[in-house]
A and B are shown apart, each in its own frame.
Chain A
Amino acid sequence: MALADNRQVAAPDSGAATPAIVVRDLVKTFDQVQAVRGVTFEVATGEVFGFLGPNGAGKTTTINMLCTLAKPTAGEARVAGHDAVTERDDVRRNIGLVFQDPTLDGYLTAEQNLRLHAELYGVQSDLVMPRMQQVMEMVGLWERRDHVVGTFSGGMRRRLEIARGLMHSPRVLFLDEPTIGLDPQTRRSIWSYIRELKEREEITIFMTTHYMDEAEWCDRIAIMDHGEIVALDSPETLKAGVGKDRVVIHTDDNDAAIAALRETFEIEAGVSEGAVTFGVDSGEEFVPRLFAELGIPIRAVSVSRPTLDDVFMSYTGTTIRDAEEDGTKHRNRVMMQMMSGGRR
């Protein structure tokens, strides 16, 4: 008991001094495929840090290495001040996890699930009930504590998992796609819990998502593509960095339009969802020139302020949706490269 109390006092101090997560040159190779190709980043204590990228970009693999579920092939990861490989238990004591796939026992009640968690983590017996009430109230499930989890909807289960992940007051909470497959309303409520959580507890939140609108909520985001981090900053800075308005034009001949844009305006355009897309400093002023000088019939045009989608596009050359569709193709390509001893 005395030992536990010491830790309670010591934890916030050491937490403030060291970053919550330090990752250096982290690599994970499965057979021939490099799922994570040497990523390096730090997450400060108290931050909401988002990993953004299409499915298959290596987000889950990275998160698994951080929470000691997978051993890195190379590189180093420190979480809550402990090495994820050599101090596995210390990392585990200090992190909460919400996985992409549900990990609740559907035969037990909500309370039994949380109690089981508290017992596995060795939470002081007299604090189990008050803590349980707190985390369950936060996600609005306290009244439902006696219900069997098997009767819960998908959104309720996810909320219960978040509550469970918080049962032992972790210093870092990992959320792997916490809102995937949920309806917009439930997604919103989950985000309000996460924001409230950040206000109330000294906690660092590390999450992955492939929803652009959700990434806006993060303090900082890392864009991951093909196993590498291609950009890392606050959403505002990233958007400012793109600094351009997004122009989308529909033409009958996209290739000709791209060629013409390159020749006439020295603009590199890409194709996204069947339309030619590119960035310019001031869209409204550019459009008249476009019509006058391009020399290729334009059927429709739209101009928009930069979004994270554009940030993603500017760093990866594709929209996240197209990247998703390409995911399987990419994996095959990587495999081919690996086998033929290619690029990397």
Chain B
Amino acid sequence: MSTTTDRAETATTGAPRPPVVRVSVPQRSFNSELRAIKIVWRRELIRYRSDRLRMITTLVQPLLFLFVLGSGLQRLSSGGTHGVNLKTFIYPGILCIVVLFTAMFSAASIVWDREFGFLREMMVAPVRRSSIVIGKCIGGASVAAIQGVVMIILAPVVHVPYNVVMIIEVFLLQLLLAFTITAFGVMIAVRIKQMQSFMGVMQMIVTPMFFISGALFPAAGLPGWLTVLNRLDPLTYAVDPMRRIVFSHLSISLLAKRALDPGITWFGWHVPTLVEVAIVAAMGLAMLGVAIWEFSATE
């Protein structure tokens, strides 16, 4: 402490001073908002890079589901999977939930920032609140997508061969899902003042969302109540196309494909993949809108 103070003293009283560097803050413009979005986004990446523990912790659960549940239930389920390894079947769902967990964690940083005061620094800056929210969402989406890539790399381990088209499609869908989930998380986080409450709320929302989505089972021939819940779960519309992408690049029997990738139906109507993707995108934008509106309303 004292050494730094001394240094400061000598620095200020020594030698002739250089002229003061005066800067000025320009009027708000499209460019200044872009700059704000970019720096908020970059901050998320810097923090992710310095937080090695988070990289690992958000992967633990998905990996447990994939390898422990996948291996453990293999024998029980072998009759229903038509020779397909259970891990291979679960894999697309895991590609989604790794994004789900990471994106929710990223959104939590808003609560964190509020608790530790940093949010205030952003709130008083001469930029739109929407720029901060958009930067957060893109940042969260980027981090989640990076975690998703780790999962993509594991494909051969679960008998899914690498394929460039598949990898690109999976990555893009993960990116979209990551954005939507982050927007969803931010929408909730803006209202919550304490990290503990957010973690609680997150558990309450994330776990059911993941279980009901069909990440671990085919979404056909379910009991009525579960079918209804499944069709209402937003994650369903990401898991289903994800499974289609992965399965379309597998060489398995048509029977197995039909049983394991039945697709989503609304009252008997087969929902096309593009519509599913559009649902995820539309929800993402809608929740981003709500998040921005909420964030702008806070004093």
Contacts and interface: CB of A to CB of B under 8 A. Distances in A.
Interface of A: 3-5, 7-8, 11, 67-71, 89, 92-94, 97, 99, 101-108, 112, 115-117, 119-124, 127-128, 130-131, 134, 137-144, 148, 153, 155-156, 167-169, 185-186, 189, 192-193, 196, 200-201
Contacts of B137: none
Contact of B116 (A106, A127, A143, A200): A106
A68 B47 contact: no
Contacts of A3: 26-27
B76 to A, nearest CB: 45
A92 B50 contact: no
B251 interface: no
Best-surrounded residue of A68, A107, A117, A131 (most CB of chain B within 10 A):
A107
30 contacts: A3-B26, A3-B27, A8-B24, A11-B24, A67-B124, A89-B126, A92-B124, A93-B25, A99-B120, A103-B121, A104-B118, A105-B116, A105-B118, A107-B46, A117-B125, A119-B39, A120-B36, A120-B127, A121-B25, A123-B25, A124-B23, A127-B21, A140-B8, A140-B12, A142-B11, A156-B1, A169-B22, A185-B1, A186-B1, A192-B12
A168 B50 CA distance: 27
B5 A186 contact: yes
A67 to B, nearest CB: 7
Nearest to A70: B299
Contact of A68 (B20, B27, B124): B124
Contacts of A148: 50
Interface residues of B, number: 44
A4 B24 contact: yes
A122 B25 contact: yes
- By Cβ-Cβ distance, the 3 closest A-B pairs, closest first, are A140-B8, A119-B39, A120-B125
Contacts, number: 146
B82 interface: no
A137 B11 contact: yes
Contact of B24 (A104, A134, A140, A169): A169
A120 B121 CA distance: 9
Contacts of A112: 43, 46
B126 A134 contact: no
Contacts of A127: 21, 23
Contact of A119 (B11, B28, B38, B124): B38
A69 B126 contact: no
B23 A123 contact: yes
B281 interface: no
Nearest to B118: A105
A140 B4 CA distance: 6
Given A68-B124, A119-B36, A119-B38, A103 B5 contact: no
A139 B8 contact: yes
Contacts of B11: 137-138, 140, 142
B211 to A, nearest CB: 33
A90 to B, nearest CB: 8
Contacts of B191: none
B299 A71 contact: yes
Interface in B21-58: 21-28, 31-32, 35-36, 38-39, 43, 46-47, 50-51
A121 B125 contact: yes
A42 to B, nearest CB: 23
A101 B117 contact: yes
A176 to B, nearest CB: 11
Residue among A99, A140, A167 with the highest chain B CB neighbour number at 10 A: A140
B4 A156 contact: yes
Contact of B126 (A92, A116, A155, A200): A92
A147 B126 CA distance: 27
A106 B4 CA distance: 19
A316 to B, nearest CB: 30
B120 A122 contact: no
A115 B120 CA distance: 16
Nearest to A5: B24
A107 B127 CA distance: 23
B299 A107 contact: no
A331 to B, nearest CB: 21
Contacts of A144: 4
Given A92-B125, A156-B4, A108 B21 contact: no
A107 B46 CA distance: 9
Contact of B21 (A107, A131, A189): A131
B24 A116 contact: no
A155 B42 CA distance: 28
Contacts of B24: 4-5, 7-8, 11, 123-124, 168-169
B122 interface: yes
Contacts of B25: 93-94, 121-123, 168-169
A123 B126 CA distance: 11
